[in-house]
Amino acid sequence: MKSPDMRDMLWKMQLIRHFEAKVVELFQKGLIRGATHVYLGEEAVAVGACAALNENDFITSTHRGHGHVIAKGLDVKRMMAELLGKAAGYCGGKGGSMHIADVGAGILGANGIVGGGLPVSTGAGLSSLHRKSGQVTLCFFGDGASNQGSFHESLNLASVWKLPVVYICENNQFAVTTPCWESTSVENIADRAVGYEIPGVVVDGNDVLAVYEAVSAAVERARAGDGPSLIECKTYRWEGHYLGDPQVYRTKEDIGAWKEKEPVRRFAKKLIADGLITQAEVDESDRKARELVAEAEKFALDSPMPPGESLREGLFAPSAPLPPTPSAAADQLREVTYGQALNEALREELQKDPNVLVFGEDVGLHGGAFQVTKNLFHEFGRERVRNTPVSEAAIAGCAVGAALTGLRPVAEIMYIDFSTIASDQIVNQAAKMRYMFGGHATLPLVIRTMCGSGTGSSGQHSQSLEAWYCHIPGLKVVMPATPYDAKGLLKSAIREDNPVVFIEWKRLYSSKGMIPVEEYYIPLGVADVKRPGDDVTVIATGPMVLESLAAAEALAEQGISIEVVDPRTLYPLDKETILASVRKTGRAVVVQEAVTRCSLGAEISAIIVEEAFEYLDAPVKRIGGVDVPMPYSVPLEKAVIPSQEQIIEAVRSLL
């Protein structure tokens, strides 16, 4: 165990104390806005824990994260600027108090979601393990987060894989306004470690050296390959859950009693008693901390607000250029199934990039629920193709943390219905991190998932939820309908430097189609005209592409020429290809399996009406599933799904 720098620890505790006191002052003046949570009284936890780290180690933080990031080394000037929403802030004013991050400094983000950082830290641990970097991740979370499913999923997964993560619970006695003893089933949160066969340690969170010693031991254990630890630091927050909290749930006497045990003065007294520092040196250090915070305040107040043109900046990383795709003659094509095409895409990208990992439920020896990962385990081994527990939040969050720290994870969520369990990690973490962090993060991850009906799986395994993810800024959404598109788009998605939700259709896995013999890629955001025509444009997604092509064949025999357009990428949507087709034909039918209400079909219809209205010779028609949960009975299920006959009828109604 390395010897701590006592003076530096005192200095950082004093700096946090003065910084947070200034935050309270500026909040009361109305200069800091929104939900603001300060770290007053808890300084010893962050400083003691971060003192055990190397410079290149990682931390994940919480909504009460100012202390963590100062302890890890961030500049209080840029931090204060961020809290005031200024362009000079770490996130350019887009993150604010709860989302300060500097991935380059190993700070993977403060987090406004209770427990949100737990799966992310687990993914960072996987990244360190895979890259053999020796890096350790500290995951700070509060006592309230210990009752979240993400806590249990993360600790279990980290224990199973022996990941180098140290989970640090800052038990400040209250989850919002509820005391810990009312909401937690054990006396000590660290007692829960036994369920995962990892060390669980309780320390005095107001004793910076006790925290340092416990975390140092856990960090050494993690670096040695022995897996995670859980450390509970008993401490107390001086302020309410948020600034402005009336604090009716606790007494002034309780607050006063804890202030008598406050960590900064306590540590200074110890250093003086041990002859390691004088009172004058303590006072001088405190004065310098106060002055630095005053400089930070002036810097932040004098800094400009972000310009309006920065509003849209930082949402997506630039897409990496793709290798050219060769044009394939008929004798250079071969027939494969949709499932085989996906399998080939995964194999080729695993071969090309050692930082590509595939993980999810049953993806190993079993090959996944639909055999898409078949034989990949045998070829690449359990380090590259990893079975996970049934833990959707941990799977998605692990992908986020791994992507933030250098990997290109492909995470499988067995059914899109189950992605709702992982929606925090997909919607609040993967989609928002780059933008909230001011464009200073890259998240090259793919969430593969399966959707749709036709397999008799009823209401909780058959939904079409693509519109949910299209609605979320920061995500790209892909939904291929053919083997050709499935392979080319998945390869491109894995090379994409942004989070991609890649949606596959269960009943298409056995469908067949031709693909080039040579390697190829299909750029995201480019629609495909599957069949040219002149009379009506049919814009279709998923298996409705095949139904629409069959309808076009039938209508062609009657002299009606249908153009079938497949967006392929649902976001970003290639609206120009769609609009060009509608301007040519003057008529449009939008077909999807999902219900039409608030759907992608509704969005496409609105785009056509807004941008090609003068070209329309008839109203836009929408076809979608019946507005009910998917039933089990064969005839009822069939009645829900749009049919070729419905498409034909809709086309005829426009002529």
Residues annotated as catalytic are 392, 461
Specify the DSSP element, H or E, that contains 314. Answer: none
Identify any residues that bridge with 409 across adjacent strands, giving them in sequence order. 357
Buried residues in 456-484 as b, exposed as e (16+ CB within 10 A): ebeeebbbbbbbbbbebebbbbbbbbbbb
**Region class of 518: left (phi > 0), else alpha (psi between -120 and 50), else beta:** beta
Distance CA 644, CA 648 (A): 6
Tokens encoding 102: 């500097």
Distance CA 577, CA 525 (A): 10
Distance CA 56, CA 136 (A): 9
Tokens encoding 141: 């979370």
**What's at 441, amino acid-wise?**
A
**Region class of 73: left (phi > 0), else alpha (psi between -120 and 50), else beta:** left
Tokens encoding 455: 């397999």
Distance CA 9, CA 82 (A): 24
CA distances from 143 to 205, 210, 338 (A): 13, 19, 46
Distance CA 21, CA 19 (A): 5
Tokens encoding 578: 């769609």
Residue 201: strand, helix, or coil: strand
**What's at 579, amino acid-wise?**
L
Residue 521 burial (10 A CB sphere; 0-12, 13-18, 19+): buried
Tell me which residue of 546, 512, 327, 506 sits closest to 416, measured CA to CA. 506
DSSP string, 478-538: E---SHHHHHHHHHHHHH-SS-EEEEEEGGGTT-EEEEESS-----TT--EEEE--SSEEE
Q: Which residue has the tokens 């785009």?
A: 607
DSSP string, 616-642: -SSPPEEEEE-SSPPPSSHHHHHHHS-
> What is the number of residues in the chain?
655
Specify the DSSP element, H or E, that contains 312. Answer: none
Q: Is-cis flag, bond preceding 629, omega within 30?
A: no
- CB neighbours (10 Å) of residue 210? 17
Tell me which residue of 74, 59, 171, 161 sits closest to 118, measured CA to CA. 59
Distance CA 69, CA 277 (A): 26
**How do 512-516 and 333-337 pair as beta strands?**
antiparallel
